[in-house]
Structure 1
Amino acid sequence: MASADYTPLILSLKVAAISTTIVFIIGIFFAHLIARKQFFGKSIIESFFLLPLVLPPTVVGFGLLLLFGKNGWLGKWLLDWFDVQVVFSWIGAVIASIVVSFPLMYQSAAAAFANVDVRLEKAARTMGASNWRVFWTIAFPLAWPGLLAGLVLSFARGLGEFGATLMLAGYIPGKTDTIPMAIYFAVESGHMEKATFWVIIIVALGFSTITWLNWWSKRNMRRFANEKGR
Structure 2
Amino acid sequence: MSSVDWEAFWPPVLLSLRIALLASIAALVLGTAAARWMSRTRLRGKLLVETAFLLPLVLPPTVVGFVLLVGFGRRSWAGRLIEAVFSSPLVFTWWAGVLASVVVSFPLVYQTMKTGFASIDQDLEQAARSAGASELQVLRFVALPLAYRSLLAAFVLGFARSLGEFGATLMIAGNIPGVTQTVPTAIYVAVDSGQTSMAWAWTIAIVAFSFVLLLVTGGSRSRDSIREHR
Distance in 1 separating the partners of 2:55 and 2:109: 13
- Per mean C-alpha deviation after superposition, the further-off stretch among 210-219 and 84-93 is 210-219
Q: In the alignment, does 2:211 pair up with 1:211?
A: no
Task: Give the share of equivalent positions with the same residue, in percent.
Answer: 46
Which amino acid letter does the alignment assign opposite residue 164 of structure 2? G
The answer to whether 1:179 aligns with 2:183 is yes
Asked if 1 retains the 8 angstrom alpha-carbon contact of 2:9 and 2:202, the reply is no
Gaps of 5+ in 1: none
C-alpha distance in 2 between matches for 1:132 and 1:55:
34
Letter matched to residue 178 of structure 1: T
Q: Does 1:89 align with 2:99?
A: no
Q: Does 1:13 align with 2:17?
A: yes
Q: Which residue of 1 aligns with 2:124?
A: 120
Correspondent of 1:31 among 28, 35, 48: 35
Does structure 2 conserve the Cα–Cα contact (< 8 Å) formed by 1:87 and 1:168?
A: yes
Aligned-pair CA distance for 1:194: 0.8
Q: Deviations over 1:169-217 (max 9, x none)?
A: 0000000111001100111111111111111111111122122222211
Judge which range, 204-213 or 105-114, deviates more. 204-213
TM-score, normalised to structure 1, is 0.94
- The 1-side partners of 2:106 and 2:180 are apart by 21
RMSD of the TM alignment (CA)? Answer: 1.2
Q: Which amino acid aligns with 1:90?
A: W
Counterpart code for 1:33: W
Equivalent in the alignment of 1:106: 110
CA distance in 1, matches of 2:71, 2:229: 48
Deviation track 1:125-145 (CA, whole Å, cap 9, x = no partner) reads 111122222111111100111
1:4–1:190 CA distance, 2 compared to 1 (3 A): closer
Select the residue among 169, 172, 181 that pairs with 1:168. Answer: 172
8 Å Cα contact 2:9/2:198 also seen in 1: no
Cα distance, 1:36 vs. partner?
A: 3.6
Tell me which amino acid in the other structure corresponds to 2:30: I
CA separation in 1, counterparts of 2:59 and 2:135? 36
Whichever residue aligns with residue 113 of structure 1, its letter is F
- Distance (Å, rounded) in 1 between the aligned partners of 2:126 and 2:98: 38
Q: Is 1:130 aligned to residue 115 of structure 2?
A: no
55-64 or 214-223, which moves further after superposition?
214-223
Paired residues of 1:100 and 1:157 also in contact (CA < 8 A): yes
In the alignment, which residue of structure 1 is the partner of 2:79?
Answer: 75
Alpha-carbon offset, residue 2 of structure 1: 3.4
Aligned-partner Cα distance in 2 for 1:81–1:36:
36
Shift of 1:39: 2.8
- 2:194 equivalent in structure 1: 190
Name the stretch that deviates more: 189-198 or 204-213.
Answer: 204-213
The 1-side partners of 2:61 and 2:133 are apart by: 44
Structure 1's consecutive aligned runs of 4 or more residues displaced over 6 angstroms after TM superposition are none
Distance 2:164 2:77 in 1: 28
- Distance between the aligned counterparts of 1:86 and 1:12, measured in 2? 17
| Counterpart-to-counterpart distance in 2, 1:179 and 1:204 | 13
Give the TM-score normalised by structure 2: 0.94
Which string of whole-angstrom CA distances, capped at 9 and with x for unpartnered residues, describes residues 37-65 of structure 1? 33311111111011011000000000001
Q: What is the Cα deviation at residue 4 of structure 1?
A: 4.8
Q: Which runs of 5+ in 2 are unaligned?
A: none
